[in-house]
Amino acid sequence: MSATGGQGRLIVCPTPIGNLEDVTLRVLAALREADIVACEDTRRSRVLLDRYGVSGRLVSYHEHNERSRADELIAQMRQGAVVALVSDAGMPLVSDPGLVLVRACVAAGLGVEVLPGPSAALSALVASALPAERWHFVGFLPRKRAELARALAAPETLVAFESPRRLAGSLRALAAAEPERQVAVCRELTKLHEEIVRGTADELAQRYADEPPRGEIVLVVGPATRRAVDLDGPLAAVRTLVEAGAKPRAAAGVVAELTGVGANALYRALTEDRAQA
């Protein structure tokens, strides 16, 4: 246990999102102090620790063992251990494991110290050149069409993680609603092949339509310029007409005239739903 003999505590340590030189001196000091380093992936964390000559006891702490491991770590902190929590990259808990452990520490009256450090979401927000006074982080964009539409309708700047294979589809959905919406695709931040591509939703949807990008993506979307329309009701009406024998484009056109929702948006949503079925 800790050589200081004091009460155990948790230190939340953000790690580099790509460039290992971005680790802070305070994080390195915390990792050296810790009796236990709880890692999302011990192999990836070992690369960072070896780079800076940090030795320590590493244990796995990931989404599949989070609850059982949290109980073990709480017991050890009660006995005086200092635990450092790290994820594969960036700040733990932000689309990464850690919430269960932090809540357990708070409930147990154990100290929780959070160190500042690298963040893909913040780096992308600043690099996007989009308004940063009010912004909304959603983690990974939702897969379901209706949930995606609601997320993209944010009245403030939206920051989200996205997979390369799903980027084109998300951009198409955004372009269908607001083709002139300002967007930035931030790829491989802090790494050798870092790339920031800025433009309208329509421009970027066309750019990535046939060739998905490689690497890790953060998507930044400027504030919505008009109120987003909920497609659920109109789309249900289109489905009903199609099931009754109407052609999809004709059905979308009829419902568009009755509801004011764009016919192209309805037709595209119907096509995507069929493709996912």
Tokens representing 200? 């309208």
Tokens representing 272? 């995507």
SS3 271: helix
Count of residues making up the chain: 277
Q: Are strands 9-12 and 111-114 parallel, antiparallel or unpaired?
A: parallel
How many Å apart are CA 50 and CA 32, to the nearest integer? 12
CA–CA–CA angle 222, 185, 24 (5° rounding): 100
Q: For residue 14, what pLDDT is reported?
A: 97
Q: What share of the chain is helix, strand, coil (3-state, %, to 5)?
A: 45, 20, 40
How many Å apart are CA 261 and CA 224, to the nearest integer? 16
How many Å apart are CA 151 and CA 147, to the nearest integer? 6
Which residues 6+ apart lie within 8 Å of 137 measured at CB?
A: 94, 121, 159, 160
End-to-end Cα separation, the chain, in angstroms: 54
Per-residue model confidence as pLDDT tens for the chain (277 residues): 554 456 899 999 999 999 999 999 999 999 999 999 999 999 999 999 999 999 989 999 999 999 999 999 999 999 999 999 999 999 999 999 999 999 999 999 999 999 999 999 999 999 999 999 999 999 999 888 778 888 888 889 999 999 999 999 999 989 988 899 999 999 999 999 999 999 999 999 999 998 889 999 999 999 987 545 567 788 889 999 999 999 999 999 998 888 767 787 788 778 877 766 5
Q: For residue 271, what pLDDT is reported?
A: 82
DSSP 227: P
3, with CB counted inside 10 A (0-12, 13-18, 19+), is exposed
